[in-house]
Chains A and B, each alone.
Chain A
Amino acid sequence: MLETVFNRLFLVTFLASTIRMATPILLAALGEIYTEKSGVLNISLEAQMLTAALAGFIGAYYTQNNWLGLLLGMLAGILISLLFALLTVSLRADQIVVGITLNLFALGLTTFIYRVLFGVAVIPPHVEPMVEVHIPVLSDLPVIGPVLFQQKAVVYLTFLLVPIAHWFLFRTTIGLKIRSVGEYPLAAETVGINVTRTRYLCILLSGLGTGLGGAFLSVGQLARFTDNMTAGRGFIALAIVIFGQWKPYRAALAALIFAAADALQLSLQAVGVQIPSQFLLMLPYGVTVLAMIFVARRATAPAALAQPYVKEG
């Protein structure tokens, strides 16, 4: 058994799928970093992802174009996040409560729409899987090539986004504004920063990223949609934000760790390890809990996180 586990093919498959599986949760986490940095705790990532997964699938299925699918997914993500922003920022409802409700709502909505459009089929409808893009020269390298340079385009894009997200948040005037709104909204308001608009911007941005992540899940990875297919990934993305200390690079690292747990259970199942599948499936969730315990005491969240901003007078 050990030989199977440690042979090269296993390792390559495992590492490649780690990176692939990190992609959707990393996209969601990057968006959530922006949202939380602006002082909003959006736990409806799951809802955004799931809705985007369905919208992406629908788009790709009917247009026969995966890219249009991804685009539609992003739109759906933005739409759900807009609803969230409207309720929490403008109408000042509790962020966690709205998040909880949206998650339930999205679960019902996606199931309903999928049933209406596709009914109950023995062979579920699917789209053409997205193809891997082989980077010339680099993809021919042993081990590194297939792991890093034979991935789908969205994967490259996502990891390219990490330094961009970092740069934008920490090196630009808008990034400074975003962080100020999450730390001390009143102070930001007095120097002319529109707190409401900034929070909307971040929430919608997060909807965009999370939407792409969700659409990649259905269009890019599985090539079909299943009920509740996100299976808690939105919440794992939340954990990644905390584990990554609200920093894009660390979040990328955290996403890889979580994805590794997920990829490991898949790879182990594939090689037929004698552990009940349920325990393998538990792996990413268990890892998340342990990580949260590990990081809890050191986490320093933005000062105004989850506090609605109310301008009096």
Chain B
Amino acid sequence: MAPILCMRGITKHFPGVLANDRIDLEVEEGEIHALLGENGAGKTTLMNILYGLYEPQEGEIVFQGRPIKVSSPHQAIGLGIGMVHQHFMLIPVFTVAENIILGLRSSRGLVLDMEQVQRRILDLSERYGLGIDPNAYIWQLPVGLQQRVEIIKALYRGAKLLILDEPTAVLTPQETRELFHILRSLAQQGTSIIFISHKLNEVMAISDRVTVLRDGRVVNTVLTRETSQTELACMMVGREVVLRIERPPPAPGEPVLEVNDLHALNDKGLPALEGVSLRVHRGEILGLAGVDGNGQIELAESLVGLRRPTGGKILVKGRDVTGSLPSTLIRMGVACIPQDRKAIGSIGEFSLAENVILGSHDQPPFARHGLLNRQAIRRYCQHLISEFDVRTPGVDLQARALSGGNLQKLILAREVSRPHDILIAVQPTRGLDVGATEFVYRRLLEERQNGKAILLISTELDEVLCLSDRIAVIYEGRIVGEMRAEEAVAEEIGLLIAGSRREIGIGRRDESRSTADRKNSFAKETRERV
């Protein structure tokens, strides 16, 4: 088969970073080609170049035998290159059909031709087994379906090459399985697919060939059937093991955080938490596993006082704090690393010094009688920077100039350096490189050793398995399972986060079992990796 795509010598610098260093990539027609690498290895940058979002400083791209220069996504689409981003490029208040035809010509000139579009969408949906209703609004659809809308959007525009950026990050195992099914059927019918991932098991399961990136360079391109996970892992990180976390035996004390039958609404006013009960003890990490959008954010917001629960109770050290203000909860000893570092965790325009006193700006020694002690604040910041190894030229730097890892370290430093008894960590390593991830893990375990109670909310099952003493699973706003870590069977968790337990109840036993089988291998792989 002839290659549909050849990228040669692609180089891209960002201020201070060499994101892509002379990268070569070749994709065959009808091939599923995995692009494997850790966060920050340069996968997304490379694909954004191919998709016309970034302009490379060097290198050439040959697509379908012709050299091309892509300067915009629009042009890429016109050439037959489609991309499904990690953050969907869909407009929530538009319907599926409106999203799909956005920017396209209409057969009726200026006027939208919705009926015809709907028919074509249904055709495509049937051909690849996508099950899409063109009249549904995006905000009404579950994430898995939104992703398929993205795929249809690319196919509708005649994509010959489909790029999927970490497509499984937001999916349940079951949805992942369905996605893989769709991808195979696409490849069989001639579409080439670039599958970006950092998950070895998925790459092994879906791809024909794998190109491994590390630190902006190509390590190697190999046939999937001729390689193994160990070999790929080795290429990906440049050493044998990703993370080796020493975890001393747990010594849990009295419960610090108790959540009883908590109910809350999401931003759209729909139920997001429907009776969550949890208990976190001193000296333990409770991992809350689950796929994005099952109430984790609403739970975290309720626990730090950003969202008023509609029912149930939250107790901190035995005191009822349901519906308390964030300031009260901080004083009660609730620390939190929020999911969004930039908008919620920090203030970009503020200096590092000003950022580290967020939440204690009116406490001595930073302030007395309403007056700030700038000297003390700077000294404190200096102290945290060195203790938490934040790489920065100084305390007066604006927070937005920090890299993701360093900013996360700063937020972690701020939260755990304040008197506290409980730490809520929401996706604490999302988007961080290996070094920073390791640092965060070590600090979380240190917290545990110091007798703090830690609630780790994460969609990364590996992360939950590797850090937690106990694991709870959240699905559609309910806790659907809870177990001790040493009793945790990854396949069972896999089932739970997909909500499969209830499906067993309504008699789809066969399908569930096959999911179980699949999860079985998934879990084994996961543990191997950890």
Contacts and interface: CB of A to CB of B under 8 A. Distances in A.
B106 A173 contact: yes
A173 B105 contact: yes
B89 A190 contact: yes
Given A191-B102, A313-B53, A172 B91 contact: no
A171 B109 CA distance: 11
Interface string A280-313: 0000000000000000000000010000000001
Given A192-B77, A313-B54, A313-B55, A187 B110 contact: no
Nearest to B114: A171
A180 B55 contact: no
A192 B103 contact: yes
B93 A177 contact: no
A67 interface: no
Interface range for B: 20 to 34
Contacts of A313: 14, 48, 53-55
- In terms of DSSP, what is the predominant structure of the interface of chain B? loop
Interface string A169-188: 00111101101100110111
Contacts of B91: 179-180, 183-184, 187
Given A180-B94, A183-B93, A192-B73, A174 B102 contact: no
Contacts of B98: 176
Contacts of B515: none
A183 B93 CA distance: 8
Contact of B89 (A173, A176, A186): A186
Contacts of A184: 89-92
A173 B101 CA distance: 9
A79 interface: no
Nearest to B90: A187
Contacts of A192: 72-75, 77-78, 103
A184 B92 CA distance: 9
Contacts of B103: 177, 180, 188, 191-193
Interface residues of A, number: 20
Contacts of A180: 91, 94, 102-103
A169 to B, nearest CB: 11
Interface string A112-125: 00000000000000
B73 A190 contact: yes
A177 B112 CA distance: 11
Interface string A147-179: 000000000000000000000000111101101
Contacts of B51: 190
Interface in A187-203: 187-193
B270 interface: no
A172 B89 contact: no
Nearest to A192: B74
B410 to A, nearest CB: 22
B280 to A, nearest CB: 35
A176 B102 contact: yes
Contacts of B93: 183, 303
A191 B153 CA distance: 10
Contacts of B344: none
B111 A191 contact: no
A193 B110 CA distance: 15
Contact of A187 (B48, B77, B89, B101): B89
Nearest to A168: B110
Majority-rule SS of A interface residues: helix
Contacts of B89: 184, 186-187, 190-191
B73 A172 contact: no
B102 A171 contact: no
Contact of A188 (B77, B78, B102, B104): B102
A176 B106 CA distance: 12
Contacts of B101: 173, 176
Interface in B482-519: none
Instruction: Give the interface centre of B75, B91, B110 by most chain A CB atoms within 10 Å.
Output: B91
Contacts of A186: 89
Contacts of A188: 102-103
B94 A173 contact: no
Contacts of A176: 94, 98, 101-102, 112
A191 B94 contact: no
A180 B98 CA distance: 10
Contact of B102 (A172, A193, A303): A193
A208 to B, nearest CB: 19
B56 to A, nearest CB: 10
B73 A173 contact: no
Contacts of A190: 51, 53, 73-74, 83, 85, 89
Nearest to B103: A191
A183 B94 contact: yes
B74 A191 contact: yes
Contacts of A171: 111-112
A210 to B, nearest CB: 24
Contacts of B106: 173
B153 to A, nearest CB: 8
A191 B98 CA distance: 12
B248 to A, nearest CB: 44
Interface string B85-127: 1001111111000100111111000111000000000000000
Contacts of B85: 190
A192 to B, nearest CB: 3
Interface in B21-70: 48, 51, 53-55
A173 B108 CA distance: 10
Contacts of A179: 91, 94
B220 to A, nearest CB: 27
A172 B77 contact: no
A180 B85 CA distance: 17
A166 to B, nearest CB: 14
Contacts of B78: 192
B54 A177 contact: no
A172 B112 contact: yes
B73 A191 contact: yes
A173 B110 contact: yes
Interface in A237-278: none
A187 B83 CA distance: 12
A180 B101 CA distance: 11
A193 B54 CA distance: 17
Nearest to A184: B91
Nearest 7 Cβ contacts at the A-B interface? A192-B74, A191-B103, A187-B89, A190-B73, A313-B54, A183-B91, A184-B91
Given A173-B112, A177-B102, A190-B83, 15 more contacts: A179-B91, A180-B94, A180-B102, A183-B94, A184-B89, A184-B92, A187-B90, A189-B72, A191-B103, A191-B153, A192-B74, A192-B77, A193-B102, A313-B48, A313-B54
24 contacts: A173-B111, A176-B101, A177-B102, A179-B91, A180-B91, A180-B102, A183-B92, A184-B91, A187-B90, A188-B102, A189-B72, A190-B73, A190-B85, A191-B73, A191-B74, A191-B77, A191-B89, A191-B104, A192-B77, A192-B103, A193-B74, A193-B102, A193-B103, A313-B53
